[in-house]
Structure 1
Amino acid sequence: MNLFGSTIQSLENSMNYSTAKNRAISNNIANVDTPGYKAKDVVFKDMLSAEMSSIPTKRTNTRHIDFQSRTGTSSFQTITVQNSTYNHNGNNVDIDKEMNELAQNQIQYQALTSRISSKFQGLERVLRGGN
């Protein structure tokens, strides 16, 4: 039995993803001038697969996709971007792209913290008897 529903857990997982994304972006920005450094990125492909496997589906034909068999081992992972070089020293960090992603990630994280805060405030109101 899930006492509070899955909303808080989903928000927690989203905040963990955003934190990992922020860590990768910060490392990329810090290493913008490091020779040979390859940018890191956080991807959520496994998270998408896990969510798809939780969708109740009914296969009426063997050619239909079986979402139940797709399971992910983790919700996200950090990868190294190997397929590009932007600087003469072998570094592939694009500072403009990183700053843009940092701003987007900060907005997303603030929205998540605001949402989870309001969920906890709602729980607090219930525990206090609606006052």
Structure 2
Amino acid sequence: MPSAIQTRYRVFWDTPVLQAAERAMDHAAARQRLLANNLANVNTPGYLRYDLPLSASNHQALNRAVELARQHDIPISQLPQGAWQPSSMGAKLLPVPMPTAMRTDGNTVDPEHEMAALAENELRYAMLVRIASGQIRGLLDAITGGRTP
């Protein structure tokens, strides 16, 4: 059981912005590993491409993080509005069919599509890191009165 000091410390840092950003960053990190695995299997016969689309709860967490960041004037990167919107919705890890036909060896990985998905996911993660670091910077400024320690 955590001590009172640990509990108060955790509550102090557990802001809605950080909670939402943490959930969305966890999803982005898991998706990055999965997309990299797809690229690693680009020449594996019969390999089906997998993706981890944003679930409804992750979508809400991501939107909430952006909304709260804007409300509190936390700077977020100059990404286009669509950069943090999910391309699809889903709740579990499933093979996602490619819009083009599968190759003759049964592999459904398109390297160009995977690279684009990796880049989009990287931008999403970078934006979330900026939101979280802005929130932490604001909390540290509140503690130190804006002075650098």
SS in 1 for 2:109: coil
Distance 2:137 2:115 in 1: 33
Q: Are 2:27 and 2:58, in contact at CA under 8 Å, matched by a contact in 1? A: no
Aligned residue number for residue 70 of structure 1: none
Structure with higher helix content = 2
Structure 2, unaligned runs of 5 or more:
1-10, 62-89
SS of residue paired to 2:52? strand
Give 1:107 deviation, angstroms.
Answer: 1.0
Q: Which has the higher Rg, Structure 1 or Structure 2?
A: 1
- 2:94 alignment counterpart: 79
- Percent of pairs with identical residues: 30
Does the 8 Å contact 2:24/2:128 carry over to 1? Answer: yes
Q: In structure 1, the residue corresponding to 2:33 is in which secondary structure?
A: helix
Q: 1:15 to 1:49 in 2, by over 3 A?
A: closer
Shift of 1:90: 0.8
Offset at residue 48 of structure 1 (A): 6.2
- Stretches of structure 1 that go unaligned for 5 or more consecutive residues are 52-74
Amino acid at match of 1:16: D
Q: Does 1:30 align with 2:40?
A: yes
- TM-score after normalising by structure 2: 0.62
SS at match of 1:13: helix
Q: 1:104 to 1:48 in 2, by over 3 A?
A: closer
Any conservation in 2 of the 1:24–1:78 contact (CA below 8 Å)? no
Number of equivalenced pairs: 108
Output the amino acid matched with 2:127: A
2:36 maps to a residue whose letter is S
- Which of 12, 17, 36 aligns to 2:22? It is 12
